[in-house]
Structure formats: C-alpha cells, structure tokens
A and B are shown apart, each in its own frame.
Chain A
Amino acid sequence: MLIFMAILIGVLYSTGVYLMLRRNVVKLIFGLFLLGHAANLLIFTVGGLVRARPPLAAVGADAPPPDVADPLPQALVLTAIVIGFALTSFFAVLAKRVFLATGTDDTDALKSTES
C-alpha cells in the first residue's frame, strides 16, 4: 500500500503545484488546499501505515496493545489539518479582498505594491 500512498502524495503535490502556477486566484486557492492535503498525507504515511490498530488503550489497560499505530505523527497531522484549514481560509478571504480591491484575479497583474 505504501507505493500507492506514495504515488497519491506525489500526484497531490503535482496537482497542487500545477494549480498554484496558474494565473487565476481561484485556482491558486484550490492549489493550496491540495498542497495542504499532500503535506498532511506525507507526514502521516512516513509515520508508518498500520491497519485497524488505533493508538487507544482498552478500558482498564495500562497501555495500548503493542503494535498500535504511532500516535505522534497523528498528533502532528491533526494540528496541521486544523491550522492548515485556518490559514487556507484566511488566504482565501485575502485573495477575495484583493480581487475586490484591485478588480483583477490575475496574479500576474498583482505585481506592484501600490494600487
């Protein structure tokens, strides 16, 4: 499965980058979302893929059973998902504000710092 996940991550990166290289602000936003997915999935995947053994301890047990999934990458990715959501949302709103202020959604037209 690792190889499939690796390919999926590669494709998510590719599509994310490709969309970011477009001149439309809208595509840029979508590209950021895909890039975020790609990065999250990457950390998750290299942390090790384990089937059906979440890092939970049974009631009354002192520790989770051996061979559970690594909780550390999961914790990292969880915060990354939420932060990524907040930041992409912020960026999306920013992009829209820029469009409303400048009247263009062409990123090439947004070159100068003065409006």
Chain B
Amino acid sequence: MRDSLILRTTTRVIMPLLLLFSFFELLRGHNEPGGGFVGGLLAAGGLCLYMLAHGVDDARRVLRVDPRVLIGVGLLLALAAGLVPVFQGAPFLTGVWAENKVPGIGKVSTVLLFDVGVYLVVAGTTLLMVLSLAARDEEEDDPC
C-alpha cells in the first residue's frame, strides 16, 4: 500500500487540507456543528491517512511532536482555561471572554482555550494509539 504513488501524492495535498479543515471545525464549533472533539478526530484522521501512505516514521516527522506532548499540553490548556476565572474570583471553569474580536477567530475566550485543549487531547490520544500500533506492526514485519 505504501508503494502506491497516487496515494502518496494525493495524501501530500489532502493531509494539510484535512488539518486546516480540522482547525476550521474547532473554531466554528461554538456556533455551528464541530468543536474540539470533531476537530481533533479530523486532525488525527488526516495524519492517519498520511501514515498509511508514507509510513510511521514520515508521519512522526510531519507531526514533529510526540503525541504524548499533545495530550499533556492539551490537558494543561484545559486546566489553565479553568484556572483563569479562579484568579478573577469566579468558580473553576467559568467562561471568560475577551472584549475585542480577533480577526479570523472571533471572540477569544477561555472556552475556546478549553476547546483547543480538548482538540489536542483527542488528536494526541488517537495518534498515540494509531502510531504506536503501526510502529509495532512495522517492527514485527521486519524479517530481521
């Protein structure tokens, strides 16, 4: 399967598109169908596709970071989103919204930060499972 030229070429194009789409889903999730869960899964799906075409090592290289880091950062972001209101005297995880809109993203809020955390954890977990499973498979396929 890895030797399919068509697959390899198309995934090069499709993968970034899928990633982009996943960001889009993440950002619009508060108002339209989408959100961190769907976005994270889409991102993981895109990378999975890439992995299927180019192999685990290439996929890891494209990802740049260990999926475990994604999980950790995601959890920290979600936690931080919860702690911001605490410093303002509100209960843990209360939504805090910035006054001004950021172009392209809309209103920035701790809720969005939280959703980014969800996105990273979901993507990280899925990728961690898929990549480590695939790595093992390749390892066992090696004749040596």
Contacts and interface: CB of A to CB of B under 8 A. Distances in A.
Interface of A: 54, 56, 59, 78-79, 82, 86, 89-90, 93
> SS class of chain B's interface: helix, strand, loop or mixed?
helix
A78 B37 contact: yes
Given A78-B37, A82-B37, A56 B129 contact: no
Given A86-B125, A93-B129, A93-B133, A56 B37 contact: no
B129 A89 contact: yes
Contacts of B33: 54, 56
B139 interface: no
Contacts of A59: 31
Interface of B: 31-33, 37, 41, 122, 125, 129, 133
B135 to A, nearest CB: 13
Contacts of A89: 129
8 contacts: A56-B32, A79-B37, A82-B37, A82-B122, A86-B125, A86-B129, A93-B129, A93-B133
A54 B33 CA distance: 9
A13 to B, nearest CB: 25
Nearest to B129: A89
B103 to A, nearest CB: 18
